[in-house]
Amino acid sequence: MDGAERRMKIYVAGKVRNEVERDFLEEIDSLCKSEGFDTFLPHRDVGLAEGNKDVPKIFEGDIKEGFSDVKLVVAALDGLHVGAGTAWELGYAYAKEIPAIGIKTDEPVSEALEYLSAILVGSMDIVSSKDELRAKLREFAKHFSQEAS
């Protein structure tokens, strides 16, 4: 595949500490792929940190390599709190002017401000279902392809 045929890359961010969290990220990853995007999924593409010895590998893989050529971040925001890594990745994306879409399916964003923070809510669109995410991804792809032409 040459550069002209390369698909846009999405970084899928979210908590990875348990199987339920990883399964949700894998569902998001599949949805992104079904819409024609390439994806970077940290726990799949780099692995999980087993201890402090893995920190350099995780940082190098997730951030230095994973964010290479990323055009969009999709972040899972379910749960009581956003993971520290997810919040860092979203801040990094914002600083690099990479847009983000959050997905929070477990409660309305209007009721989750205490857990999400005004900064996260104000920095991206947040959808409440996979169908809404699919629509946002299609919108993004359309807008991005218009900008590129």
**Where in the chain are the domains?**
3-148
Kindly give the confidence (pLDDT) of every residue in the chain, 149 residues in length, as a single tens digit, with 9 standing for 90 and above.
344 445 899 999 999 999 999 999 999 999 999 999 999 999 999 999 989 999 999 999 999 999 999 999 999 999 988 999 999 999 999 999 999 999 999 999 988 888 888 999 999 999 999 999 999 999 999 987 777 66
CA 66/CA 135 separation, integer angstroms = 24
pTM: 0.91
Per-residue confidence (pLDDT) for residue 4, from 0 to 100: 43
CA 52/CA 32 separation, integer angstroms = 31
Of 72, 8, 66, 12, the C-alpha closest to 37 is 8
CATH number of 3-148: 3.40.50.450
In degrees, rounded to 5, the angle at the alpha carbon of residue 41 between the alpha carbons of residues 14 and 38 is 125
Per-residue confidence (pLDDT) for residue 51, from 0 to 100: 92
Pairing status of strand 38-40 against strand 100-103: unpaired
What is the distance of C-alpha 80 from the center of its chain?
18
